[in-house]
Amino acid sequence: MNAGRLWRWLAYTVCGLVAIYLIAPMLIVVIISFSSSALLTFPPPGFSWRWYQNLVTTPAWRESFTVSLEVMTLTALLATTLGTMAAVGLAGRRTRWLAGLRTLLMAPLVVPQIVSAAGIFLLLDACGWVGTIRALVTAHTVLAIPYVVATVGAALETTDPGLVPAALTLGATPSVAFRRITLPLIRPGILSGLLFAAVLSFDELIVSLFLSTPRTRTVTVQMWSNVFGDIDPAITAIASLILLVSMLLLGAYSLIGRRRGAGSVVMPL
Amino acid sequence: MEPVAADLTGAGPTSRASHLLLVLPATLFVLVVFALPVAWLLSRSVSDPAWGLDNFRTVLREPVYLGLMRNTVQISVATTVLCVLLGYPVAHVMATCPRLTRLLTFVVLVPFWSSVLVRTFAWMVLLQNNGLINRALLGSGLVRQPIEMIFNRTGVLIGMVQVLLPFVIFPLYGSIRAIDPALMPAAACMGATPARAFLRVQLPLTIPGLTTGATLVFVLSLGYFVTPALLGGRRDVVIARMIQMEIGQFGDWGVAAALSLVLLVATLSLLGFSRLLVRRGRPT
């Protein structure tokens, strides 16, 4: 019994340390972003908004933030539309053709990001799109589609396949049955997919590095070009803002997760 | 909307066409923007600058490239081992202690959802020579000179393990939770020590989750470059970073494509192999 206790305490201790290891660095960065000092000291000597003011008054940061938000919104909408349609089309039937199409749709998840990024860059560069919002949206959308297909697909799998035929028997037209039965049931899955697509786009760096130009940059690319060399506390402020956006999206996601039918965490593979 | 509903009835002559119609836009999009361009990229490994296998000869023979493949594999192996060792206890507590499940899920989800760049940057702030940890150590007089924790292998591993831990924790959590909760007490009842019960009962049952998680971590670390680029030494270049530099700085598409092909083949075969293992391990 004693040995059992020892093992359990060991597990708890490792667990606690890992939790600190996972969370603490980000927390510290957020705290430093409110520092009144130009040095990276912890705990900060005083509180100030100066690094955030600095961001607002620097056009490069402000513009990159706008670019990221715009790309994120468009990507989330486009990927969710395309992905949801595909998931509904793939549901229910298992033919070889559809299985093949599904594999193709999920492919961006298993191909290493750098390879996808290089390929996408090759195409969009040939189109002369590099440095445009539409290039970033196109690239992010293709990477986000698998997540939407997965979350909506998971929601569809949990719905009772007898419901729609029942509605039809009771006299509903197909479109009414879809809107009143299927759609409400898979809505949590669609919303999860939307949020996944949004966070993927907002945090994306690798494809964006290829597709950005000094004039059109996402906020992660702007941050990337500023983290080599001396670290200035202003970057801790931008890091905190990026984190804030992700956390807002995660908050929304966990709200949906409480309701039935929302997909769990989607992972590559 | 008509076709959708018609289709969910699972009957009718329009069904098949409407399936395809719904799947088509996304498929075309992925085909044109992703599949064909990646194929185009890979084809350049044999066509750029001239037809032939020269690029592969370069990549598989020259010490520079062999060195970076070795770096990549070493980093990936170490990251995977550390992730499994640190992730298992977390997944175990998460699955067996209901009071902590929610809290731990949150603790793992937060980094999972946050930008890799931000998380790597946080380590730069902490680990630099004039970073927080070294300042604290110097200030307390514990060390005379800053400890080099960044721009070397240590830094890369600290960062990579943190970034990739969730990928091993979630699958493990799933497979530990699926174990019948009566099994471990039963083993104890029959006289097994906790260590033995773990090794003979729990561990074998969680092999599928472990395989999935470890493969995921390994494969993802093979293709990572943000963390190694920021926390690694100048010599510690990895494949993905090299691909980016070949394209961005040297414009050498042929070599970049050859490296991409090597990376892709390694990734896909590992994923396939792991899937086979997991499927085999599952009772039918």
Within an 8 Å CB–CB cutoff, is residue A29 touching chain B? yes
Q: Which residues of A touch B198 (CB under 8 A)?
A: 7
Confidence grade of residue B13 (pLDDT, cut at 50, 70, 90): very low
Domains in chain A, number = 2
Q: Which residue of A has its CA nearest to B269?
A: A110
Tell me, yes or no, whether B220 and B81 share the same domain: yes
Under 8 Å between Cβ of B247 and B136: no
Do B205 and B135 share a domain, yes or no? yes
**What DSSP line would sit under B246-260, residue for residue?**
IIIII--HHHHHHHH
Rounded to whole angstroms, how far apart are CA atoms A202 and A73? Answer: 9
**A39, part of any domain:** no
- Clarify whether residues B40 and B133 are in a common domain: no
Establish whether this prediction's ipTM goes over 0.95. Answer: no
Rounded distance between C-alpha atoms, residue B84 and residue B161, angstroms: 10
Give the tens place of pLDDT for each residue, B63-91.
999 999 999 999 999 999 999 999 999 99
Where does the pLDDT of residue A143 fall: very low under 50, low under 70, confident under 90, or very high at 90 and above?
A: very high
Within this chain, do residues B25 and B148 fall inside the same structural domain, yes or no? no
**For A181-240, how does the pLDDT look when each residue is reduced to its tens digit (9 = 90+)?**
888 989 999 999 999 999 999 999 999 999 999 989 999 999 999 998 777 788 999 999
User: Which domain covers residue A11, as residue numbers?
Assistant: 1-31
pLDDT at B129 > cutoff 70: yes
Q: How far is CA A2 from CA A16, A201, B92, in A?
A: 21, 50, 19
Question: Do both A74 and A187 map to the same domain?
Answer: yes
Secondary structure class of B133 (helix, strand, coil):
helix
A242-265 residues labelled b (16+ CB within 10 A) or e (exposed): bbebbbebbebbeebbeeebbbeb
The minimum CA-CA distance between A159 and chain B, rounded to whole Å, is 11
Same domain, B143 and B247: yes
Bridge partners (DSSP) of residue A35 are A47
The alpha carbon of residue B148 is apart from the nearest alpha carbon of chain A, in Å, by 16
User: Based on the domain organization, do B71 and B39 belong to the same domain?
Assistant: no
Structural domain including B210 reads: 53-281
Chains A and B form CB pairs within 8 A to the count of: 307
- The Cα of A46 is separated from the nearest Cα of chain B by a number of Å equal to 16
Distance CA(A222)–CA(A244), nearest Å, equals: 17
- Other beta carbons within 10 Å of B238: 27
Are A190 and A79 a contacting pair, CB within 8 Å?
no
B142-152, pLDDT tens digit by residue? 888 888 888 89
Residues forming a β-bridge with A47: A35
Structure tokens at A62: 């402000």
Domain match, A90 and A141 both: yes
**Contact: B243, A118; criterion CB under 8 Å:** yes
Q: What is the pLDDT of residue B12?
A: 46
- Separation between Cα atoms, residue B85 and residue A83, nearest integer Å: 36
Number of domains in chain B: 2
Residues A117 and A247 in one domain: yes
Same domain, A9 and A126: no
Closest CA to A240 of A55, A105, A89, A59: A55
Mark whether B183 and B166 lie in a shared domain.
yes
Q: Does A115 touch chain B (CB under 8 A)?
A: yes
Chain A positions touching B124 (Cβ under 8 A) are 227, 231
In a domain, A51, yes or no: no
Chain B residue with CA closest to A177: the answer is: B5
Calculate ∠ Cα B31-B7-B2, nearest 5°.
95
Tell whether B214 and B244 lie within a shared domain: yes
Per the CB < 8 A criterion, the answer to whether B200 and B192 are in contact is: yes
pLDDT at B282: 63
Same domain, A194 and A75: yes
**Domain co-membership, A85 together with A124:** yes
> Both A184 and A143 in a single domain?
yes
Are B89 and B177 part of one and the same domain? yes
Is residue B284 scored above 60 in pLDDT? no
A-chain residues near B268 (CB < 8 A): 110
Residues B241, B148 share a domain:
yes
Pick the residue of B8, B42, B120, B218 with the most A CBs within 10 A to test the interface with A by mutation.
Answer: B8
